[in-house]
A and B are shown apart, each in its own frame.
Chain A
Amino acid sequence: MVDTRVNLKGLSLRNPVLTASGTFGYGEEFADFVDFSKIGGIIVKGTTIHHREGNPYPRMAETPSGMLNAVGLQNKGAAYFAEKIYPRIADMDTNVLVNVSGSTIEDYVACAEIIQSLDKIPAIELNVSCPNVKQGGMAFGVTTDGISKVVEAVRKVYHKHLMVKLSPNVTSIADIAKAAEASGADSVSLINTLMGMAIDAEKRRPKLSTVTGGLSGACVKPVALRMVWQVSKAVQIPIIGLGGISSATDAIEFLLAGASAIEIGTANFIDPAISQKVAAGIEAYCERHGIASVRELTGALITD
């Protein structure tokens, strides 16, 4: 019997598998495919203080082994979430986390306060890394000063588990992670999407209405893995690894590189049941290797 539980600074998960924000809706969309009691948790769509319509269509372009998106945080706002959506998903048999985003520090703080009032949401993932919004978003996540300011401000009002989602579009992600840790983050999740672009040569036009967008999917995995490795050398707080995870093997690689838990993103679009399969696959791996607890895998990469 493998012990699959992980504890991320007070946030306990039955296993290390979470679903990534923006790829799993509010969970309900996947109810026909996933037994929520078999995964560690879900992170719902990026939520902002005010309603956002997001960017114009087209918002998506497929790329080799991946996709670009430019959704732009379309959501109905924190109050709508608290009033209409939360009651429907609060009793889901798994941890429900909310991804919180904003354009200003005040917006982040106000949104975090609303989510904090919801008893059954044990943690937020602070999104300082969305590449698809004009103001705020990634702007906070690309400098140590910016990330410190927003994390400190939210930390003052938010007293549950505070996870901070990091952008890969930086020179040194280890420095950004250290700044998040010093400002009070309980954990860091990485990576958000990589800034990219796609062009329709025949039409001589960009494929996305916003010209640039965020790249995700299997193609980003090596970059994500490298960044998890670098951050694991830089911080003491738990790391949640994501970026192109499509199988249990992928997930285990992230654990070995230093992650305590992982998120599954774009792969949910190709196989809506993948999160549950990855959780089962991690357990099978541990059994096969005689590993008693999945926690032993974190940072267990052999490099000599």
Chain B
Amino acid sequence: MDLRLIDKQLWSRSVLLKLRAQEEECLPEIFPGQFVQVRVDGSPTTYLRRPISVYYVDQAKQELWLLVQMVGDGTRTLSETAIGALINVMLPLGRPFSMPENPAAKLMLIGGGVGIAPLLYLGKVLKDNGFQPQFLLGARKASDLTQLDLYEEFGEVYVTTEDGSLGEKGFVTQHSVLANQPDMIYCCGPKPMMMAVARYAKEHDVFCELSLENTMACGLGACLCCVEDTKEGHQCVCQEGPVFNLNQLKW
């Protein structure tokens, strides 16, 4: 569907795109952890759509927010889209994070870099459903962590930065809050960081779901390009994921 860009906010390495459904249309139901495939117009070197995780959804306002890290020509062109222009998206795609069963479960949402994006909407939906999420967000430096105040609306926020410019210095897995073991971990971020979180979850026998971001083409499970080598063989991250339980992975 075509969504209208109603607002955007630029940082040095990322851009927030606020999209709204056009008047005669409605956003479908979207679950945390799902993603959209964005068509990039006007970039000659960008051929395929760009898979972008859902940052936030406001059904009342019919708004979908995407936090896009600028890594190449495609995402840079996307960041230059004029406010008021239409952006074509396929949505919602993929399997979402699962909801906890125990209302008292101690939930830790661990994100790194732009991988913090899907955790915002997850935090909102968890809170809306009576759970108490906490966030543990990591980045290289303070300026890479944008809009922490939004996260604070839904739960306590703990931070690590590699240069110590915000929160505790080091990696997320080194944060003191993890001394108090969570019951469930939801995780998204760069692969080395997710693997470190996976090691922590395994050592402490904690339920852990991770959102992978293998390079994709179709986003529909048709081309078989984005496969992860799971315990059940090659599975499409776009269709069987992007969220996998740690038990499914060979990590």
Check A62–B47 contact: CB distance below 8 A: yes
Does A67 sit at the interface, judged by CB under 8 A?
yes
Q: How many A-B residue pairs have CB under 8 A?
A: 85
Check B45–A71 contact: CB distance below 8 A: no
- Which of B104-112, B138-146, B214-222 forms part of the interface with chain A? B214-222
Q: Which of chain A's residues have a CB closer than 8 A to the CB of B192? A: none
Check A62–B234 contact: CB distance below 8 A: no
Q: Which of chain A's residues have a CB closer than 8 A to the CB of B226? A: 57, 59-60
Partner of A54, one of B48, B49, B224: B224
Q: Which of chain A's residues have a CB closer than 8 A to the CB of B216? A: 60
- Chain A residues with a Cβ closer than 8 Å to the other chain, count: 32
With A53-B233, A56-B229, A269-B217 known as contacts, the answer to whether A71 contacts B224 (CB < 8 A) is yes
Check A30–B45 contact: CB distance below 8 A: no
Check A268–B218 contact: CB distance below 8 A: yes
Residue of chain A at shortest CB distance from B219: A269
With A24-B222, A59-B224, A60-B223 known as contacts, the answer to whether A67 contacts B229 (CB < 8 A) is no
Interface residues of A in 15-44 (CB under 8 A from B): 22-25, 29-30
Residue of chain B at shortest CB distance from A19: B222
Does A290 sit at the interface, judged by CB under 8 A?
no
- Chain B residues with a Cβ closer than 8 Å to the other chain, count: 27
Check B47–A58 contact: CB distance below 8 A: no
With A63-B47, A64-B45, A217-B47 known as contacts, the answer to whether A71 contacts B225 (CB < 8 A) is yes
List 27 interface pairs A-B (beta carbons < 8 Å), by A numbering.
A22-B224, A23-B218, A25-B220, A25-B223, A29-B218, A29-B220, A30-B220, A53-B233, A57-B229, A57-B234, A58-B215, A59-B226, A60-B223, A60-B226, A62-B47, A62-B48, A64-B45, A64-B47, A66-B47, A67-B47, A69-B223, A71-B225, A74-B234, A266-B217, A269-B49, A269-B218, A269-B219
User: Which residues on B are within 8 Å of A, measured CB to CB?
Assistant: 39, 44-49, 90, 214-229, 233-234, 239
